[in-house]
Every structure is written in structure tokens, then in C-alpha cells.
Homo-oligomer: A and B are copies of this chain.
Amino acid sequence: MAELGEFGLITRINAGRMLPPGTLLGPGDDAAVLIAADRRVVVTTDVLVEGVHFRLDWATPHQVGRKAAAANLADVAAMGAVPTALVVGLAVPGQTPVSTVDELTSGMWDEAGRVGAGIVGGDVVSSAEIVISVTALGDLQGRAPLTRSGAQADEVLAVCGRLGWSAAGLAILRRGWRSPPTVVGAHQVPQPPYTAGPQAAAAGATAMIDISDGLIADAGHLAQASGVAIDIESAALPVAPELIDVAAALGVDARHWVLTGGEDHAFLGCFPPAVALPAGWTRLGMVRAGSGVTIDDRPHEGSPGWAHFES
């Protein structure tokens, strides 16, 4: 790192990469300039800290880069928007190998490339530990943003994407195992259903949230923002066979991961009863008058999900 200097690093981040199509001015100036044809822009930011959000003995730098990008791209898609670009802040110790930074940013580029986005700007600075900050921008393409606050009683609650996989993968890594790789891989790199966000918006969804803290916790955020109650039907919970196998090996209940595991970035949406759920969405329960989240009309026992700074 120390040899390259800041300018060399920023040049490397974009070497050989095609800037996303809406880029009027890319990296290398005081700021980037992007097309916002819709006359609105969606923006979100997330910070990942080594040892808190990722461990480089549990994931490669490329996987960490993909995960950092995915968390932000998912937030944009959960608004019903299409991600257009990322700007990236990297704080890394001076002794970090250049290859680590190359892999981190390469992972971000590869994940962004899955939705047609890319890195249009960044800053690389020196620090004691690796801190990755990603800001994602998005285009609503004429649609109204899908917020957390639009749900109404009698609507259908539905989910698209994985639940509990990342938590199961983390449980495996914590036990010191590395297998099964499909489940460990789900923790290393989430697979948000990016296109499901804009699709749900177009289909008539009234509210949506990216599940990053856990199903119960994020259903609670949606219920609170909308001023409604949410009931999840336990029989509808998608518990993948892979998770049941891992849970049996670890002596735990896979349903706990499905209800409280975050970081899979599934989307939780609400649809009017007359709307047919788009392909890929699974009915999970109902929106009701009232407040709070229940499972089969009973309160959930225990922690709803994972939160920073809580002991």
C-alpha cells in the first residue's frame, strides 16, 4: 500500500473497468457526475468494519467486497429502484497488501456489475483497521419509491430471497467448520433478489423493506413505519432443507435463523389482496390493524434480530 500512494490506488480501482452507462464524469475529478433522468435520485450508505461485519479468515477480500456492495445495492432495489452507481470509501492499514485492496474493489465491481452499476468515485485513506464505506445511488425509472410506511391492513405479506442462510453460514464458521460450502457461501456473499424490488413496485406492492437485521426485526420496522400489525404464518416460513441439515448437525432449530438471521437481504413486501404475487415471491402472512409482529397470532419470544452496540 505505502508504495502506491493514494492516487495510484484510485487509478487501480477502476483499471480495466467500464463505467456504468449513466456516468457523465467518472473518477479522477473532485466529484463524479451521473445522469438522473428520472429527476430524482435514490441514495443509501453502509459501513462495514473488519472484525465486526467481516473477517478475512472467514471470507476472501473479493467476497467481502461483494458483500459490501450487495448490502447497499439491495437497499436501493428495496426502494423499487435500479442501482446505478457506487462511491466507495476505503480505510486500510498501511501494511495491507495491494492485492487485498485490488480484490476488495474487484468484488465490489463484480457485484455492482450484476445490476449494471459500477464504482464512479472513491477515497482511500490510512487507518488501523479495514473500514469499508459504500454509498449506492439508484434510479426509480418513474415509479414511486417503495417505502416501509405504505402497508395497510388486509394486505398480503410476502418475501423474495433467502431467509436464514447467512446466519446458518455464520454458525458453521463460528463452530470452526467450512462446510457445506453452499451455506457458508451464503454468509460470505449474499444473493439479494435485486430485480424483485423494481418488479414488486411495478406489480403494485405498497411497502417494502430489505431484510438486513432479520425477518422479525425488519417486519417490526415495517409495521411501525406503516402503523400496522404483521402476522407471520409459521407454516409459510421457507426453511430450506440445507438449513435443516446444518441445524441438526449443530443441535439448533433452523427456524431461529429464518426468523432472526440478517444479511441475506431478502425483500419483505406488502401487496394488496387483489394483486397476484410476482414470480419468486412467497406469501408469508398478513397485514392487520394494530401494531407489532406476531407469529400465528402469538408474540415472538427472544431477540428479534441483531443490532449494533447491544451487549
| Chain A residues near B (Cβ < 8 Å) | 1-7, 9, 24-25, 28-49, 51-53, 74-76, 78-79, 81, 85, 87-91, 94, 120-129, 131, 133, 135-138, 140, 145, 147-149, 208-210, 225, 307-311
CB nearest neighbor in B for A1: B309
Q: How far is the CB of A14 from chain B (nearest CB, A)?
A: 14
CA distance A6 to B305 in the complex (A): 13
Q: Which of B85, B89, B308 contacts A133 (CB 8 A)?
A: B89
Residues from chain B with Cβ under 8 Å of A41 in the complex: 33-34, 36, 41, 137
Best-buried of A5, A42, A45 by chain B (most CB within 10 Å): A45
Q: Which of B31, B120, B309 contacts A126 (CB 8 A)?
A: B309
**A25 with B145: CB separation less than 8 A:** yes
User: Which 10 pairs, one residue from A and one from B, show the smallest C-beta to C-beta distance?
Assistant: A31-B44, A36-B36, A133-B133, A47-B89, A135-B135, A30-B75, A89-B133, A6-B308, A45-B87, A49-B127
**B126 with A308: CB separation less than 8 A:** yes
Given A52-B127, A126-B308, A127-B129, verify A44-B121 contact (CB < 8 Å).
yes
Q: How far is the CB of A80 from chain B (nearest CB, A)?
A: 10
Best-buried of A30, A88, A209, A225 by chain B (most CB within 10 Å): A30
Q: Which of B45, B94, B307 contacts A309 (CB 8 A)?
A: B94
